[in-house]
Amino acid sequence: MFKLEGLYATYGEGMVLRHVDMEVPMGRVTCLVGRNGAGKSTTLKAVMGLVKTPQGKIFLEGQELQKLPVYERAKRGIGYVPQGRDIFPQLTVEENILLGLEAGKGKGTIPDFVFETFPILREFLHRKGGDLSGGQQQQLAIARAIVAGPRILVLDEPTEGIQPSVIQEIGRVITGLKSRMAVLIVEQYLEFVLNIADYCYVMENGRIIMDGEPEHLDQKRLQATMSL
Ligand SMILES: Nc1ncnc2c1ncn2[C@@H]1O[C@H](COP(=O)(O)OP(=O)(O)OP(=O)(O)O)[C@@H](O)[C@H]1O
Ligand SMILES: [Mg+2]
């Protein structure tokens, strides 16, 4: 189980997250939704240690992470795909994936399950990351995040700027990965994310205002929250 308990986060002045509680179990896809500026990316940055968290706790399988530096959290088993993907355009596909291996548990070769998950990456192994299409770059970013076998995969708007057929493919991949790890996904594309999520948190102004299984969420309130 991955868990946030009463988490606050700040970029300097004023709290962006306020008392966020969240549970992200293994074998489940948990989603976090909310409109622009709600604090979704900040929540994921707080998980990774990229933003100050003056109060609250972050647990991974019972161990507290909130005081650990970013690289140590990656090593403990958090795979992170930032918004906008952030791959290295000048490095090859292979080099990009190997970076994920080094950030995680160690060095070695890329395990087969990565290419079984994303066959296209094997084909383009020696191509530069920057020469891939947007959807392929998203696949590369996910490959880099899972190559070290994380306990939790954290994805920030994986469908942003990607065509529908690739979005469906990414949905299938995420559903397939959950048997190996917990998945926490931030999305604004509701129809997509409610389809693949087992549990959903709704954020507004840095607070969780609603949570539940997708089919039990108050649809009216959800739509209102997303569209304001
Ligand atoms: N580096 C930063 N410095 C100061 N404030 C920031 C910084 N990054 C984000 N914020 C502020 O924190 C709040 C939450 O931003 P965040 O990026 O978490 O929103 P989001 O829910 O991910 O939105 P979007 O859907 O647009 O990605 C916003 O008010 C934003 O302006
Ligand atoms: Mg964001």
128 pLDDT more than 80: yes
135 pLDDT more than 70: yes
Residue nearest to atom 2 of ligand 1 (CA): 11
What does the pLDDT average to over 18-34? 97
63 pLDDT more than 90: yes
What does the pLDDT average to over 49-73? 96
77: left (phi over 0), alpha (psi -120 to 50) or beta: left
CB 38 within 8 A of CB 9: no
Domain architecture of the chain: domains with CATH: 2-227 (3.40.50.300)
pLDDT in tens, 64-82: 999 999 999 999 999 999 9
Name all residues whose Cβ lies below 6 A of ligand 1: 11, 16, 34, 36-42, 83, 188
| pLDDT band at residue 84 under the 50/70/90 scheme | confident
* pLDDT given for residue 161 in this prediction: 87
What does the pLDDT average to over 102-108? 73
Enumerate residues 6+ apart whose C-beta is below 8 A from 213. Answer: 198, 199, 200
Looking from the CA of 63 toward its CB, the CA atoms found within 13 Å total: 11
Residue nearest to atom 27 of ligand 1 (CA): 36
Distance of CA 210 from the midpoint of ligand 2 (Å): 19
CA nearest 22: which of 144, 154, 176? Answer: 154
d(CA 135, CA 118): 11
What does the pLDDT average to over 187-195? 92
75-84, 93-102, 104-113, 130-139: segment of lowest average pLDDT: 104-113
Residue nearest to atom 18 of ligand 1 (CA): 39
Query: 13: exposed, middle or buried (C-beta count within 10 Å: 0-12, 13-18, 19+)?
Result: exposed
CB 165 within 8 A of CB 134: no
Enumerate residues 6+ apart whose C-beta is below 8 A from 89. Answer: 128, 129, 130, 131
Distance of CA 62 from the midpoint of ligand 2 (Å): 27
115: left (phi over 0), alpha (psi -120 to 50) or beta: alpha
Ligand 1 atom nearest residue 157's Cα: 27
Residue nearest to atom 5 of ligand 1 (CA): 11
* pLDDT given for residue 106 in this prediction: 64
